[in-house]
Amino acid sequence: MPKLLIVEDDPGLRSQLRWCFDGYEVLEAEDRASAISQVRRHDPGLVTLDLGLPPDPANASEGLALLEEILVEAPQTKVIVVTGNDDRDNALKAVSLGAYDFYIKPVDSELLRLIVDRAARLYELEAENRSLTRNSRSPLAGLITADPGMLEVCRMVERVAPSDATVLLLGDSGTGKEVLARAIHDLSDRSGERFVAINCAAIPENLLESELFGYEKGAFTGATRQTIGKIEHANNGTLFLDEIGDLPQSLQAKLLRFLQERKIERLGGRSEIPVNVRIVGATNQDLQARIREGHFREDLYYRISEISIDIPPLKERQGDPSLIAHALVERFAREQRKSLRGFTRDAADAIESYEWPGNVREMENVIRRAVIMADGPRLTARDLGLERLTEEAPSPRLREVRDNAEREAVLRAMARCNHNVSQAADLLGITRPTLYNLMDKFGLK
């Protein structure tokens, strides 16, 4: 039910109005302090506000000040001001300050109900529009993060995408390298062309060359027709070479020649074929170490890493484990047609404490299994199969400890509450303005 806050100092009128609004979750407040408390705690979408509030009901200044405070706390809330018959000027002033509408006493319950119903419908449509805007597909739609380090990675992707520079994505398995590779493609001028991906570690060495470069009819036993390779298939688009660190040495020289000349020869062919393609590589290996060991060509490394982007593992992203877990449980609950409402406290603690060595891919598997097997309305630590781990000792510097603790607490609270500011403030035991100040302080907005 939509939440409606009635701010009225007359208890008899409050009781009368409560009975008028069947179908609403009605909250009550008799003064400015209790009204703000209700707004911060419940975030109502609708408020009826009597401008004549104590300590001076004859003066509308207290009600107007409350109106401004409500709209600062909850800008989307629809406020209907209720005022006396001789107070039309203050009603108009309230509308100019941002009130949705006004109503002059004496109260006609049917007319006031009509105004509130109309405001509720508008609030619902605006909320739906905001939701559609947030969930509309974008090039980075597959990436969920609030971690400053990961947000910087996103900004690097946005800056490098319009160029034709070769990009190397470095990160552990399951950190989202292919998601970022697709984002680079979608944000580039090649977005209307093909995005072709190939896993260099998943194809046997004797087949990888023909997969990359293609072959002519009769090039080898079983080659009954001409076949183009992945590089040629991606012409004018983007070729994503996943696990490029596992590329066999026999193919490294041929790939280097292609990157220099931008021409290929199919197996069994004699003519060079020009190909215009952007290369994005990815690996979870230390290529510098493989160069020292003689397993990877140094000249190829410099060709594929015109721009290198390091992707942090999930355990280093502050607040992201809980945030991603909330998104995954919503997604898998829809897929499995289950009614789940997030996590119990022990499950949330386990998610934040676990190091997630398999990163997001491991989390997807864990939560999918838990959603399928869960019996209760919330996932528990037992459903997830996780054990809570101890955390590292903090820094001994007092200022650093305090700032880090506050920042981590805000990130975890926002992630646990799925970025609902009111719920996060309640979880932290602070007011919403204090939470906003902390978010400003640490650059988290």
Q: Does 230 fall in a domain?
A: yes
Segments in 287-358 forming alpha helices (H):
287-292, 298-304, 320-336, 345-353
Dump pLDDT digits (tens) for 287-321.
999 999 999 999 999 999 999 999 999 999 988 89
Q: Does 143 fall in a domain?
A: no
Last-in-domain residue among 102, 135, 168 = 135
How confident is residue 445, by pLDDT bands cut at 50, 70 and 90?
low
Distance, CA of 166 to CA of 260 (rounded, Å): 12
Work out whether the CA dihedral 79, 83, 88, 94 comes out positive or negative: negative
Best CA proximity match to 69, nearest among 98, 91, 104 = 98
Q: Does 142 fall in a domain?
A: no
Cβ count near 426 (within 10 Å): 18
Q: How many domains does the chain have?
A: 3
Dump pLDDT digits (tens) for 143-187.
888 888 898 999 999 999 999 999 999 999 989 899 999 999 999
Q: Does 213 fall in a domain?
A: yes
Dump pLDDT digits (tens) for 233-247.
999 999 999 999 999
Dump pLDDT digits (tens) for 367-405.
999 999 988 888 988 899 886 543 443 444 667 778 888
**Domain shared by 163 and 302, yes or no:** yes
Q: Is the pLDDT of residue 132 over 70?
A: no
**Domain shared by 404 and 353, yes or no:** yes
**Neighbouring residues of 12: CB distance < 8 A, sequence distance ≥ 6:** none
Q: Does 423 fall in a domain?
A: yes
**Domain shared by 160 and 308, yes or no:** yes
Give Cα 375 to chain centroid, integer Å.
27
The CATH number for 305's domain is 3.40.50.300
**Domain shared by 343 and 273, yes or no:** no
Q: Does 366 fall in a domain?
A: yes
**Domain shared by 131 and 164, yes or no:** no
DSSP single-letter state for residue 215: E
**Domain shared by 235 and 339, yes or no:** no
pLDDT at position 136: 46
**Whether this model's pTM surpasses 0.75:** no
Query: Treating both helix axes as pointing N-terminal to C-terminal, what angle do 421-428 and 32-42 enclose, rounded to 10 degrees?
Result: 110
**Domain shared by 71 and 83, yes or no:** yes
How confident is residue 87, by pLDDT bands cut at 50, 70 and 90?
confident
**Domain shared by 198 and 323, yes or no:** no
The CATH number for 19's domain is 3.40.50.2300
pLDDT at position 371: 93
Highest-pLDDT range among 69-73, 138-142, 161-165, 333-337: 161-165
Dump pLDDT digits (tens) for 244-267.
999 998 899 999 999 999 999 998
**Domain shared by 153 and 287, yes or no:** yes
Cβ count near 5 (within 10 Å): 26
Last-in-domain residue among 277, 297, 312 = 312
Tell me what percent of the residues of the chain surpass a pLDDT of 70: 94
Q: Does 141 fall in a domain?
A: no
Q: Please classify residue 318 by burial: count the beta carbons closer than 10 Å to its beta carbon, then call 0-12 exposed, 13-18 middle and 19+ buried.
A: buried
The CATH number for 397's domain is 1.10.8.60
What range does the domain containing 47 cover? 3-135
**Domain shared by 257 and 360, yes or no:** no
**Domain shared by 330 and 419, yes or no:** yes
The residue count for the chain:
445
Best CA proximity match to 171, nearest among 197, 144, 153, 147 = 153
Last-in-domain residue among 287, 312, 337 = 312
In contact, 181 and 240? CB cutoff 8 Å: yes
- Indicate the average pLDDT of the chain: 87
Best CA proximity match to 128, nearest among 200, 45, 195 = 45
| Cα-based angle 235, 241, 245 (whole degrees, multiple of 5) | 150
Q: Does 233 fall in a domain?
A: yes
How confident is residue 283, by pLDDT bands cut at 50, 70 and 90?
very high
**Domain shared by 184 and 269, yes or no:** yes
Dump pLDDT digits (tens) for 91-104.
888 888 889 998 88
